[in-house]
Amino acid sequence: MIIPTEPIGSLPRSPQLLQARAAFQTGELDEDAFTNAQREAVRDTIERLEAAGSPVVTDGEQSKPGFLTYPIAGSPSLSSDGVVIPFADGHQRQLPALTAGPFRYLVSADQYLRAALRHARVPVKQAVVAPSALSLLYPAAGIVGYPREEYLHQLADEAEAEIRRCLDAGAHVVQLDFEEARLSLKLDPSGQVLDDFVSLNNQVLARFAESERARIGVYSGPGADQDATHSLDVDYAELLPRLFRLTAGNFYLQLASEADPDRVLRLIADELRPGTRVFVGVTDPTDPRVETAEQVRDRVLRAAKHIPVDQLGTCDDAGFAPFADDTSTSREVAFAKIRARVEGTALAAQILG
């Protein structure tokens, strides 16, 4: 028996890349040299993932400035006073705000995918930002001459085009990062904002055939920036019924850091549709302790008591460094956790088989 296991996406940037980024920002390093540093970090990341036994790899988002705003990095139509995301440890991230239309992606994730495919010997997955996250860029006060409805239509077009380019380029799976799902319930307990998010994402997913949606997944978690979360205190029971309305073929869910994982697994089992697969988190990137393969094995076996094994997979609870400046976890710890996930998942599969 084989239980699939996949990384979520980001990994800590290499020390060399962090140094190159700092030098590039101060003008001490030119663009070509910085691009070469990014390419080397991607190569090293993929080689280390493969050495850890990962059957599916990513580029670790080494070339992304962050998981959320990479499509619009450098756009002149942005201001710095967008939505604020507060984390449990007191630090914040602030999104930019759109100032004018029309809306277009300046960067599409297929360029990261194509760069990764040049180095990988195993399948490569590609994470993309969910359109719902980018919907937060539109200011509450509106934009003169550019209504929100027009923005959302253009956003959906751009999101569809990015996903399709990644599928066409050979992505093993395209993962929509929907981290704002749980957070939205903290900001709006009525659930209306989350309903709007799900509706927008489903509008994009509806443009793909069922066979294509089998290669599209959705990740949801409570945040994992600088070893802190933004919505771990929001009950999964409020999220999961809405989350599973999404018509994606795969779901990637944080679980290792949950206080009562059996309760969450029962909730997942109640909502899981036939033909879909749920990847449960078995390692916690916000915990500096490295899980053992045996701990991971036991977490997988517990999940298998609730979820049919042919619909079960494993993943990390989150990416290890969703923003380029997040150095809270070392690369060594991240790769050790990934190795434990891979080995522990295999141990569980042997027992279940």
3-state DSSP assignment of residue 97: strand
Q: Which residues contact 269 (CB under 8 A, 6 or more apart)?
A: 306, 307
DSSP codes joined into one string, 174-241 = EEEE-THHHHHHHH-TTSHHHHHHHHHHHHHHTTS-HHHHTTEEEEE-S--BTTB-SSTTS-HHHHHH
Q: Cis before residue 285, ω within 30 degrees of 0?
A: no
Give strand ranges (E) for 29-140. 78-79, 84-86, 92-94, 97-98, 126-129
Mean pLDDT of 248-266: 97
> What is the spatial distance between Cα 197 and Cα 145, in angstroms, rounded to a whole number?
24
Q: Which of 235, 240, 237, 203 is nearest to 220 (CA)?
A: 240
Residue 331 has pLDDT above 80, yes or no: yes
pLDDT band, residue 228 (cuts 50/70/90) = very high
Mean pLDDT of 260-285: 97
> What is the spatial distance between Cα 254 and Cα 220, in angstroms, rounded to a whole number?
7
pLDDT at site 332: 97
**Token pair for residue 51?**
């050495």
**Token pair for residue 186?**
């903290």
pLDDT tens for residues 3-16? 999 999 999 999 99
Exposed e or buried b for every residue in 54-93, given b needs 16+ CB within 10 A? bbbbbbbbbbbebbbbbbbeebebbeeebbebbbeeeeeb
**Token pair for residue 207?**
């443009």
Instruction: State the DSSP H helix or E strand holding residue 293, giving kind and residue range, or none if neither.
Output: helix 293-304
pLDDT at site 236: 96
Mean pLDDT of 136-144: 97
Residue 323 has pLDDT above 80, yes or no: yes
Exposed e or buried b for every residue in 233-270, given b needs 16+ CB within 10 A? ebebeebbebbbebbbbbbbbbbbbbeebeebbebbee
pLDDT at site 238: 96
Mean pLDDT of 314-325: 95
pLDDT tens for residues 70-122? 999 999 999 999 999 999 999 999 999 999 999 999 999 999 999 999 999 99
Mean pLDDT of 231-245: 97
What percent of the chain has a predicted confidence (pLDDT) above 90?
Answer: 98
> What is the spatial distance between Cα 328 and Cα 220, in angstroms, rounded to a whole number?
21
Residue 31 has pLDDT above 90, yes or no: yes
Contact (Cβ atoms closer than 8 angstroms) between residue 58 and residue 64: no
Taking the alpha carbons of 97, 103, 105, 106 in that order, is the dihedral positive or negative? negative
> Which neighbouring-strand residues pair with 352?
none
pLDDT band, residue 204 (cuts 50/70/90) = very high
pLDDT at site 100: 97
pLDDT at site 161: 98
Residues in the chain: 353
Residue 1 has pLDDT above 80, yes or no: no
Residue 295 has pLDDT above 80, yes or no: yes
Mean pLDDT of 215-228: 96
Contact (Cβ atoms closer than 8 angstroms) between residue 181 and residue 248: no
The total of other beta-carbon atoms located within 10 Å of residue 306's CB is 18
Residue 173 has pLDDT above 80, yes or no: yes
Phi, psi of 225 (to 5 degrees): -115, 125
pLDDT tens for residues 280-290? 999 999 999 99
Exposed e or buried b for every residue in 125-153, given b needs 16+ CB within 10 A? bbbbbbbbbbbbbbeeeebeebeeeebbe
Query: How big, in percent rounded to 5, are the helix, strand and coil portions of the chain?
Result: 45, 15, 45
pLDDT at site 66: 86
pLDDT band, residue 160 (cuts 50/70/90) = very high
> Which neighbouring-strand residues pair with 283?
316
What percent of the chain has a predicted confidence (pLDDT) above 70?
Answer: 100
